Amino acid sequence: MTPPTFAFNTPLSDQAVREAYFLGQRHDESMARLLNRYTILLPRPKSGPHISSVTFLTRFALLVQQTSQRVNYSAQQATKEHRPEDETVVINI
């Protein structure tokens, strides 16, 4: 199980990068469950604009997504390609 603190540590440690890699490569419900924890579903307001959800993806979650989309990709490559100075977050509304 992924330690919850991996998601918020910055820069990500080599261990966190490897953990993100292995989660992304699983392609099962554990990856979906992890990524779903980054989204909050909002109720429809009585009036005005409706924001249905807010997603806040940390660098850890982004690495999980990115590694799940790569073919013939290794944990060593993920660790080597990770650049701590490029760590960002993504917020989707």
Which domain covers residue 48, as residue numbers? 10-92
Q: How many domains does the chain have?
A: 1
pLDDT of residue 1: 46
| Residue 67 within a domain | yes
Q: How many CB atoms lie within 10 A of CB 7?
A: 19
pLDDT of residue 85: 72
| Residue 2 within a domain | no
| Residue 65 within a domain | yes
Residues 6+ apart with CB under 8 A from 5: none
pLDDT of residue 6: 55
| Residue 3 within a domain | no
pLDDT of residue 42: 95
pLDDT of residue 80: 87
Low-confidence ranges of the chain (pLDDT < 50): 1-3
Residue (of 60, 57, 67, 64) closest to 12 by Cα position: 60
